[in-house]
Amino acid sequence: MNLARYIVSRLVWSIFVVLGVIFVVFIVSNVVPSDPAALWVGPKATHSAIQMAREKLKLDKPLLVRFGYFLRDLLRFDFGISIRTHNPVIQDIKTALTATFELLLVAEFLAVALGIPFGVFAAVKRNKWFDNLSRLFAVVGVSLPSFWYGMILQLLFFKWLGVLPLSDRIDTFVSLLHPFHERTGFYLIDTLLAGNYTAFLDVIKHLMLPAITLAAYPIGLITRQVRSMMVEVMQENYIRTAFAYAIPERKIYFRYALKNAIAPAMVTVALSFAYTLVGAFLVELIFNWPGLGRYAANAILSMDYPAIVGVTIVTSVCYVFINFLVDVIQAKIDPRIRF
């Protein structure tokens, strides 16, 4: 089967998975609770509000009909009204999602920029002190509770060294004195487009700590993956030949060996992106980052049920989509994978 057909079949399957995911969310949110309507309007609801929710959720209809309505609302991007912010949930999620993605992309960039060289050197110096050290670092990286690590970084860089800001996306004074137009929602891009370098630098400063916190996990994953792939590639005959020709070592490692080790590592990068998306939830809470995670956490605290359901569905769909991309990348780089 060729690549195009494989991609189409994966895509079709992904759509089924999304439907399945939505169905599970529907069951958990609309069927499991003893009174879904009361949950939907929150703890301080009036009697008439509950009545309205009951009509909106069509609680008197059979299960499958209710699921149909649920799907129809989703297709119209109608997730209901947030109890806490009184905005349509989808609007809140849109603004939050760009903030989350900006943080995510910077963290993932850090992870790739550090993880790949670490992995290569660890493989080259296999079982030497550098390898052992990088293993320890990688394992610590994937074991750090991000919500704690973030606080420790804040203590270190804000409280004791005083070089980086504590939290938020941008300093209030900077954004007031040097305002810029929010065109993309990505502050790094917006400030650059506006030519506003003061704000740009401030945005970078604010990004540093949360991005470092978030990057710990993917750095660990990528380092270990690149290392194990490199170890395998380094045993190949063509590498031995390259050594015999006295080609400079650096060139052998980074040009000849890495080329074959990088493809599976890219899959790990994409996968770690999916994990980091959810990891960002906790980090955002610590750094008061106005993204999806903080939104979800506030929703939980105020029992803002429509918002919780909305965030779950949007994030799961992103997750399925990233996994779909992973499969496509994998099929493209590894000709053995065919169905």
Please give the residue ranges that form the binding site for other proteins (CB under 8 A): 16-18, 20-21, 24-25, 28-29, 32-33, 39, 132, 135-136, 139-140, 142-145, 147-149, 151-152, 154-155, 158-159, 166, 224, 228, 231-232, 235, 274-275, 277-278, 281-282, 285-286, 296-297, 300-301, 303, 305, 308-309, 311-312, 315-316, 319-320, 323
> In whole angstroms, how close is the CB of 50 to other proteins at the nearest point?
17
> In whole angstroms, how close is the CB of 3 to other proteins at the nearest point?
21
Residue (124 or 199) nearer to other proteins, CB: 124
Cα gap 153→141, rounded to integer Å: 14
> In whole angstroms, how close is the CB of 29 to other proteins at the nearest point?
6
For residue 274, what are the contacts with CB-CB under 8 A and spacing of at least 6? 318, 319, 322, 323, 326
Provide the 3-class DSSP secondary structure of residue 81: strand
Residue (199 or 216) nearer to other proteins, CB: 216
Asked if residue 288 lies in contact with residue 171, where contact means CB atoms within 8 angstroms, the answer is no
Asked if residue 275 lies in contact with residue 111, where contact means CB atoms within 8 angstroms, the answer is no
> In whole angstroms, how close is the CB of 175 to other proteins at the nearest point?
23
What's CA 100's distance to the chain center, in Å?
A: 8
CA torsion sign for 161, 138, 322, 277 is negative
Residue (105 or 144) nearer to other proteins, CB: 144
Cα gap 264→334, rounded to integer Å: 9
What is the DSSP secondary-structure string of 208-257?
HHHHHHHHHHHHHHHHHHHHHHHHHHTTSHHHHHHHHTT--HHHIIIIII
> In whole angstroms, how close is the CB of 287 to other proteins at the nearest point?
12
Asked if residue 111 lies in contact with residue 218, where contact means CB atoms within 8 angstroms, the answer is yes
> In whole angstroms, how close is the CB of 94 to other proteins at the nearest point?
18
Cα gap 107→220, rounded to integer Å: 13
* Region of residue 126 (left: phi > 0; alpha: psi -120 to 50; beta: else): beta
Residue (127 or 172) nearer to other proteins, CB: 127
Residue (150 or 196) nearer to other proteins, CB: 150
Residue (11 or 152) nearer to other proteins, CB: 152
Residue (131 or 178) nearer to other proteins, CB: 131
> In whole angstroms, how close is the CB of 141 to other proteins at the nearest point?
10
Cα gap 168→171, rounded to integer Å: 7
